[in-house]
Amino acid sequence: MDGPLDPKVLYWTGALANLLVIAALAVQGVRLARRGEYARHARAMRAAATLVGAFLLSYALKLLFLGREDPATWSRNAVTILRVHELCVLVMLIGGTVALVLSRRLRRTATFTRAASDPAAPPALSRRHRVAGRSAVIGALLGAATAALVLTGMYARARWVDAPALAQHEPAVRE
Ligand code: HEM
């Protein structure tokens, strides 16, 4: 590690740690749902969603105080990985929001409350929640994996690690 400490790189290091916790909570949430422990499932997923909200807030503050990254200086591989990463995060955000919205109706069903007096969960509602939820969890897992690669590129540009394929954009040499 021979480059200076860059506050943006430190910020993204914290963001990756946050995303790893989100992905772990999401995987645990799926396990709980499969065991039928829906109250604990809902808590795990809401905790994950709160951390996503905290990230979005921190990102707004990061833009305000530290500014944007400049991918024009990144290697082509690093930019491709960034775009794939952004797509994964988008899937996580959309899937998670849809799953959360649908869960408000699931909460009033016998599947969740276990009360015989409550209506059974409509199969289409369960299916939509499952599909949206699984998309969000897959987005979170792939988002965390690609975030680790994006961060490796940042470390390489800061000269903290040696990863030439993810480091600087090298302009073509003119004859
Ligand atoms: C972003 C938040 C959430 C995500 C990503 C999510 C994800 C999932 C997934 C992937 C499943 C299917 C598990 C499987 O069998 O593979 C599931 C099932 C379920 N979730 Fe969630 N969930 C979320 C929030 C909630 C909340 C807040 C509740 C509270 C009501 C809830 C209630 C349920 C119920 C009752 C089922 C079983 C549905 C059925 O099979 O009938 N979920 N969820």
Q: Could you tell me if 116 and 110 are in contact, meaning their C-beta atoms sit under 8 angstroms apart? A: yes
Residue 159 belongs to some domain of the structure: yes
pLDDT at residue 171 in the model:
61
DSSP 173: P
Residue ranges in the chain whose pLDDT is less than 50: 174-175
- How many angstroms separate the alpha carbon of residue 159 from the centre of ligand 1? 43
Parent domain of 155: 7-166
pTM score, two decimals? 0.92
Q: Give the residues surrounding ligand 1 with Cβ less than 6 Å away.
A: 29-30, 33-34, 38, 41-42, 45-46, 49, 96, 99-100, 103, 106-107, 111-112, 121, 126, 129-130, 133-134, 136-137
147-168 pLDDT tens trace: 999 999 999 999 888 888 888 7
Residue 126 belongs to some domain of the structure: yes
pLDDT at residue 164 in the model:
87
Residue 173 belongs to some domain of the structure: no
Which two structure tokens, joined as six digits, stand for 112?
């969740």
Residue 1 belongs to some domain of the structure: no
pLDDT at residue 163 in the model:
87
Residue 158 belongs to some domain of the structure: yes
H or E stretch at 117: none
The single residue listed with the structure tokens 């939820």 is 133
pLDDT at residue 172 in the model:
55
CA dist., res. 87 & res. 28, Å (int): 23
Atom 6 in ligand 1: residue holding the nearest Cα: 133
What is the domain count for the chain?
A: 1
Instruction: State which of 32, 45, 105 you would mutate to test the pocket of ligand 1, scoring each by most atoms of that ligand within 8 A of its C-beta.
Output: 45
CA dist., res. 136 & res. 20, Å (int): 14
Residue 86 belongs to some domain of the structure: yes
Atom 5 in ligand 1: residue holding the nearest Cα: 133
Indicate which atom in ligand 1 lies nearest the CA of residue 107.
Answer: 30
